[in-house]
Amino acid sequence: MEFPTAVLRRGRVVLPLGGGAYWRALPGAVLWKGLEALGSRAAFPVLYFHPYEFSQDTLRAVLPGGASAREHVRESWRQYSKNARRGLIRKRLVEAAARFRLVPVRDALEEQH
């Protein structure tokens, strides 16, 4: 059985909606409208989040002493992209639970059989 990640397709445009990075980047109105539209077409669109997205701690990379300037720049960008607006995910998940019926995959499997 396959449960596809939440992706909204509008013509040639593909808008990922399922992962935490998108929940941080997209405006709330776009996220909710997209999930509403997707919910009418897919029985169980998958939302996925990494544990770090709910952590209170700021993610920081520890580079070895001989790391190049390029490695420092890359890790700085990575830190920024992983930490920016992370607090939104928890808030939006609470809102999603109020708007939609959220179920774990095991429950979705039981409903499909």
What is the pLDDT averaged over residues 72-92?
91
- Percent helix, strand and coil across the chain, each to the nearest 5: 50, 10, 40
* Chain segment 3-61, per-residue pLDDT in tens: 778 888 888 999 999 998 999 999 999 999 999 888 777 677 889 999 989 988 988 88
Would you state the pLDDT for residue 42? 67
DSSP string across 72-91: HHHHHHHHHHHHTTTHHHHH
Would you state the pLDDT for residue 108? 81
Q: What is the model's pTM?
A: 0.78
